[in-house]
């Protein structure tokens, strides 16, 4: 599961790839990276080809100037998965911001998406963590260097490594620390702010897919959420399930926002069962056009 690289449009995109079989693409959340999937990937790789990219501006990928919208991230994934890697179709799994990217990709490029899996996804309601809303305020980027100094990252990394050596496992805290630590790098901070402001404003989530969720009828959809999520409330899962015809809902009791890292074995089991018990979508422009014409009024 070493990091690999491709160059797209002059910028490096990092990704991890392991296993053989039907393809699963795992899309991380805000200020995250492909590392968030490291515990789940080997479990899934027993039966599937598993690809976990670093979105532009995240992880080991470059930080190009310009567009960090959901559409831009979806296009980058299309170019990586369908272009550079030559994969025709896949099951797309998105966590938090990655859920919004996955929904946007399924909307823009329906021919690529066999199944859609939303893990504590953004884009399904207005509510979101107050901390994220605060970072959308004017001039927040000028305050961030004081909040995310490099020396704190170095000390925290040593502490995390020490606890790991002693067998202390705290995946939710580790994921939060990983996001915090990434923001000690100026280029990552700039990409974070651009990505954040593309989807969140001071009042909450600014981008919503709820008026297009009827399109999910075209592909099998799984919604997975932790009932202790403090970043995006679990109520969004129930509301989305009602709006997505034929969707499957899985609530992980006792799990928070990073349920895939907190409960990797159950996550892999639920995802594997969903894939094995559903037929992959085969969509073309004609069938998608019919679905749009038949939308609820």
Q: What is the pTM of this model?
A: 0.92
Mapping DSSP to helix (H, G, I), strand (E, B) and coil, where does residue 14 land? strand
**What mean pLDDT is predicted for residues 283-295?**
73
Which one, of 199, 202, 157, lies nearest residue 182 by Cα? Answer: 157
State yes or no: pLDDT of 154 exceeds 70: no
Closest CA to 243 of 211, 271, 218, 275: 211
Known active-site residue 172 = no
| Candidates 3.40.50.1820, 3.40.47.10, 3.40.190.10, 3.40.50.300; CATH matching 4-128+205-293 | 3.40.50.1820
CA distance 128 to 134: 11
Distance between CA atoms of 105 and 116, rounded to whole angstroms? 10
What pLDDT score was predicted for residue 82?
A: 95
pLDDT computed for residue 157 by the predictor:
54
Determine which one of 33, 61, 69, 96 is catalytic: 96
Given a contact cutoff of 8 angstroms between Cβ atoms, the answer to whether 241 and 223 are in contact is yes
Which of 28, 178, 184, 229 does the annotation list as catalytic? 229
DSSP string, 154-176: HHHHHHHHHHHHTT---HHHHHH
Which pLDDT tens digit goes with each residue over 170-183? 576 778 777 778 88
**Annotation marks residue 121 as catalytic:** no
Q: Would you kindly state where each structural domain of the chain is located, as residue ranges?
A: 4-128+205-293
The secondary structure of 47-99 as a DSSP string is TSEEEEEPPTTSTTS---SS--SHHHHHHHHIIIIIIIS----EEEEEETHHH
pLDDT at 215 over 80: no
Percent of the chain with pLDDT over 70: 90
Once rounded to an integer, what is the mean pLDDT over residues 46-71? 95
12, 82, 221, 51: CA torsion to nearest 10:
-50
Does residue 219 carry a pLDDT above 70? yes
Task: Report yes or no: 249 and 22 within 8 Å, Cβ to Cβ.
Answer: no
């Amino acid at each position: 599961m070493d990091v690999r690289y491709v160059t797209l449009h002059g910028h490096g995109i990092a990704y991890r790839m392991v296993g053989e079989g039907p393809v699963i693409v795992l899309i991380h959340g805000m200020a995250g990276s492909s590392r968030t999937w490291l515990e789940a990937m080997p479990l899934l790789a027993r039966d599937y080809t598993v690809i976990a990219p670093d979105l532009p501006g995240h992880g080991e990928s470059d930080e190009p100037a310009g567009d960090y919208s959901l559409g831009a991230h979806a296009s980058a994934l299309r170019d990586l998965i369908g272009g550079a890697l030559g994969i025709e179709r896949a099951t797309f799994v998105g966590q938090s911001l990655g859920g919004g990217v996955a929904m946007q990709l399924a909307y823009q490029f329906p021919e690529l998406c066999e199944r859609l899996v939303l893990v504590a996804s953004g884009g399904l309601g207005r509510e979101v963590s107050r901390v994220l809303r605060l970072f959308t305020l004017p001039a927040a980027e000028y305050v961030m260097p004081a909040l995310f100094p490099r020396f704190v990252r170095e000390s925290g990394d040593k502490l995390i490594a020490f606890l790991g050596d002693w067998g202390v496992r705290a995946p939710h805290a580790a994921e939060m620390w990983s996001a915090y630590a990434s923001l000690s790098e100026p280029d990552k901070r700039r990409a974070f702010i651009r990505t954040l402001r593309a989807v969140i404003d001071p009042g909450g989530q600014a981008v919503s897919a709820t008026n297009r969720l009827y399109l999910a009828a075209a592909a099998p959809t799984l919604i997975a959420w932790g009932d202790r999520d403090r970043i995006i409330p679990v109520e969004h899962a129930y509301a989305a399930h009602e709006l997505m015809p034929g969707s499957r809902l899985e609530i992980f009791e006792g799990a928070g926002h990073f349920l895939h890292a907190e409960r990797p074995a159950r996550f892999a089991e639920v995802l594997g069962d969903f894939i094995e018990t559903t037929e992959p979508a085969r969509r073309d422009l004609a069938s998608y056009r019919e679905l749009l014409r038949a939308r609820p009024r």
